[in-house]
Amino acid sequence: MSAAATLAPALRDAARMVARVAAGRSLAEQFSRSAEEGIETARAALLDLTHGTLRRYGRVQAIVAELSRRGQPDPLVQALLWCSLYALESGRYADYTVVDQAVRAGTLLELWSAKGYVNGLLRTYLRSRDAVEARLRANEEAHHQHPQWWIDVVRRAHPESWEEILAAGNTHPPMTLRVNARRVAPGAYAQRLAEEGINARSLGGEAILLERAIPVDRLPGFADGEVSVQDAGAQRAAELLDLAPGLRVLDACAAPGGKSAHILERADVALTALDVDARRSERIVRNLERLSLRASVHVADCARPHDWWDGKAFERILADVPCSASGVARRHPDLKWLRRTGDPAAFGVRQAAILDALWQLLAPGGKLLYVTCSVFPQENQEVVHAFVARAQGARSLPLPEGERSHWLPGPSHDGFYYALIQKQA
């Protein structure tokens, strides 16, 4: 069956998911629910329609608002129109096919009274596309495809690169590998990729960037623990911790375990890995088992050390704290729908509490590496500067070799912030 012939049911299922996201539910939750509901639409098609639509956050909303002549339509009708507009712009289908299949999707959704409206709005858009585009140029949410408050915060925080940051948030994320140097040299693994016809290039260290994403079962040696998938920005953590054999190391917010594994691949340390979520902690264990690595894994809240700490200080602590994830928004395009104006400041309060708790566990002379995948200063330098000012014996260290603290999202990596803090002996 052709892709066009299956578009109507795909639009139906995607519209339901996107409508739920617009109502405040996460996209990951919707995909879990789709498995339980027995949805038959191919996962690849659903991923394309939902992620593609949500990456165009402001744009598809603005088009529907611009062309609607009868007030705000029903939420499910809006979601169907948003997904259909993305399908039109994707270039995968002929225009007439999208319009026809969108109307059919309306039937499948039992939106009987809205079918003519869906047909008319999409046809109006196709007839007046240039005029609509001209009117949308002044709409920042439509142009940058992010909420206005998000645009404003990024513009203030990064005045020289704000447009590039927002543009990166609308792209497909890169797929980067982390070679397990205990098993194979990165150069040798890159050669194996070339022999398999997989185009890739080295980013330094253990990181290899693939030209295009592929299923992990196509990666040579993946099942044997020779390689993992991890963004190049995330791989900086193990590099910046200044590891040495025998150190007691804590990964305080460890799930799903990528940074824990990288630490153990780099040095024979005594690693404790925590996560407050039991399901996510299981992923730490599975990832370490695949790589034949060992750590002490606990389901625990790092901000409540009296529940789990044995009283022995750690010489290195990795605090990859909960955050807005604004630096990895392209991997989770529903984030732009779900985040609210006050979220960065609220995360900052939680992050400060975590730092205060972990500081008690750090040995004199030890180092704590603070990490977020955020581009918002309320979660990054503002948190760190306030902590260093109030914590006894805290001293900010320059990152090794003049590394910059903030890697902003770009073609080869996501957005991460790093700060290294030492407790004076």
323 is catalytic: no
What is the 8-class DSSP label of residue 312? P
Annotated catalytic residue within 83, 253, 323, 373: 373
- The pair of structure tokens assigned to 114 is 């809205």
The two structure tokens encoding residue 297 = 């894994």
SS3 26: coil
228 bridge partner residues:
178
Q: What 8-state DSSP symbol labels residue 414?
A: -
Length of the chain: 425
Residues 6+ apart with CB under 8 A from 7: 87, 93, 97, 98, 101, 105
Do residues 51 and 333 touch, judged by C-beta distance below 8 A?
yes
3-state helix vs strand vs coil in the chain, percent to 5: 50, 15, 35
> HSE of 333 in the Cβ direction (CA atoms, 13 Å)?
23
CB-based burial label for 342 (10 Å; 0-12, 13-18, 19+): exposed
Catalytic residues: 373
